[in-house]
């Protein structure tokens, strides 16, 4: 079997792994990206809302808050410079009763603490903007947008490759070990190979814990628990009711059943939060059960009473890697450096759920800074 000495290996070619690879390659590192699948971005990065989040919901000082705001600004600039389609369509967070209106005040304060500007609207103002809407108050986020996530990933790969990075598809990391002269990674696939790297960045998304557990020398106490929360979408089969994105007041574990549009202008609702009773990413069933639609109709009609019967069709689903037990309170992104993983040169990202797409460039820059310091 081949044994190759390399500078940096990035494990996983989702939006985050590709952004990390692009930033590291731009900084002059020799990067190999190893991806288990047959193409880039086929897992969580292909199964999300493609929303560029403003940075409203996250606790002040958290990585999510900081990297969402930094990442959003960097992302709009990146897309403008590289011809990736992104549109600032804005968003409304709508309250449908007085208790929710009071909750908007808390969200408004949280956003301000994170450096995000929102406008408070009366119900009448919001409904004048969006006549199909029903609400008693709203917050408007002008900075929220939508993005062509596959175009974004191709642009990350392009920049990485322009700076000498190589992508190995169908190349799952099966095991590894911390050794005196670097980190050994044993890769499977059609052409199995062994890599010996000075630096490894584990961006394996839902499999990040499994990859860590397969590398001898990783401190077992550094690997957080994993629980999986599936998010189901329903497609709207009628004309889009709104020009902007519409979100209810958030619920535990997710942002509530919200309305987004894809790049083609088609509307969809979701994702909901379905906690899975196992933590095996290989067993996630991405089919959307039609019966979940009943809950969607009720949730959506709170802010869009005109939703016609039969207008929702099961769409796609994604899965959130939660770095904590099922239904525990939301946790932050985790970016571990060698002092935490216990292995020289090993950096690991856990719990990169939403807003990971928005924060991808900022995560790439953060990791690149850590690697430079190490």
Ligand X SMILES: Cc1cc2nc3c(=O)[nH]c(=O)nc-3n(C[C@H](O)[C@H](O)[C@H](O)COP(=O)(O)OP(=O)(O)OC[C@H]3O[C@@H](n4cnc5c(N)ncnc54)[C@H](O)[C@@H]3O)c2cc1C
Binding site for ligand X (CB under 6 A): 11-17, 34-37, 41-45, 48-51, 53, 172-173, 203-207, 211, 231, 271, 318-320, 352-358
48/96 with CB nearer ligand X: 48
Q: And the tokens for 71? A: 């990442």
Do residues 176 and 193 make contact, with C-beta atoms less than 8 angstroms apart? no
DSSP, res 367: H
- Least distance in angstroms from the C-beta of 5 to ligand X: 19
d(C-alpha 259, C-alpha 245), whole Å: 6
Shortest Å, Cβ 114 to ligand X: 15
What minimum distance in Å lies between the beta carbon of 206 and ligand X?
6
Q: Which two tokens stand for residue 4?
A: 């190759």
- Report the residue number, 56 or 101, with the smaller CB distance to ligand X: 56
CA distance linking residue 44 with residue 207, whole number of Å: 11
Token digits of residue 332? 């932050």
Q: How far is the CB of 48 from ligand X (least distance, A)?
A: 3
**Hey, what are 179's tokens?**
């050794």
Instruction: Tell me the closest approach of the beta carbon of residue 167 to ligand X, in angstroms.
Output: 11
Name the residue nearer to ligand X (CB basis): 101 or 234.
234
Which lies closer to ligand X via its Cβ, residue 18 or residue 101?
A: 18
The backbone region for 265, taken as left when phi is positive above 0, alpha when psi lies in -120 to 50, beta otherwise, is left
Is the Cβ of residue 137 or residue 215 nearer to ligand X in the bound state?
215
CB of 272 to ligand X, least distance (A): 9
- CA–CA separation, 255 vs 344, rounded Å? 37
**Closest distance of CB 99 from ligand X, Å:** 26
Torsion sign over Cα 357, 362, 368, 373: negative
254 DSSP β-pair partners: 251
The CA–CA distances, whole Å, from 85 to 33, 71, 102, 153, 373 equal 25, 16, 36, 12, 34
d(CA 302, CA 136): 11
Nearer Cβ to ligand X (25/36):
36
**What is the Cα–Cα distance from 189 to 161, expressed in whole angstroms?**
22
Q: Are strands 91-95 and 245-248 parallel, antiparallel or unpaired?
A: parallel
C-beta closer to ligand X: residue 132 or 284: 284
Give me the least distance between CB of 343 and ligand X, in Å please.
16
Question: Which of 52, 137 has the CB closer to ligand X?
Answer: 52
């Amino acid at each position: 079997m081949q044994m190759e000495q390399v500078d940096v290996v990035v494990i996983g070619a989702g939006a985050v792994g590709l952004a990390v690879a692009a930033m590291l390659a731009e900084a002059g590192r020799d990067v190999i990206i190893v991806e288990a699948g047959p193409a880039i971005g086929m897992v969580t990065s292909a199964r999300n809302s493609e929303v560029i989040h403003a940075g409203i919901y996250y606790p002040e000082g958290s990585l999510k808050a900081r990297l969402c705001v930094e990442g959003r600004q960097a992302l709009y600039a990146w897309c403008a410079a590289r011809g990736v389609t992104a549109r600032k369509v804005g968003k409304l967070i709508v309250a449908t009763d007085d208790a929710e209106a009071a909750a908007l005040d808390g969200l408004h304060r949280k956003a301000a603490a994170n450096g995000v500007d929102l406008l408070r609207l009366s119900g009448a103002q919001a409904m004048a903007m969006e006549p199909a809407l029903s609400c008693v108050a709203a917050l408007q986020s002008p900075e929220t947008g939508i993005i062509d996530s596959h175009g974004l990933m191709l642009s990350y790969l392009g920049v990485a490759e322009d700076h000498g990075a190589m992508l190995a598809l169908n190349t799952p990391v099966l095991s590894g070990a911390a050794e005196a002269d670097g980190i050994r990674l044993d890769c499977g696939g059609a052409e199995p190979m062994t890599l010996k790297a000075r630096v490894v960045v584990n961006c394996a998304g839902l499999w990040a814990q499994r990859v860590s557990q397969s590398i001898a020398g990783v401190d077992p106490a550094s690997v957080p628990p994993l629980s999986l929360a599936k998010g189901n979408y329903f497609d709207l089969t009628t004309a889009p009711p709104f020009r902007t994105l519409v979100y209810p007041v958030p619920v535990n574990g997710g942002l509530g059943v919200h309305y987004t549009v894809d790049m083609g202008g088609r509307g969809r609702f979701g994702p909901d939060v379905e906690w899975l009773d196992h933590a095996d990413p290989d067993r996630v069933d991405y089919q959307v059960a039609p019966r979940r639609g009943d809950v969607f109709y009720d949730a959506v009609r709170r802010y869009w009473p005109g939703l016609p019967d039969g207008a929702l069709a099961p769409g796609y689903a994604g899965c959130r890697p939660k770095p904590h037990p099922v239904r525990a309170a939301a946790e932050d992104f985790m970016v571990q450096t060698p002092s935490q993983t216990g292995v020289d040169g090993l950096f690991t990202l856990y719990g990169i759920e939403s807003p990971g797409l928005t924060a991808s460039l900022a995560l790439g820059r953060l990791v690149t800074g850590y690697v430079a310091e190490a």
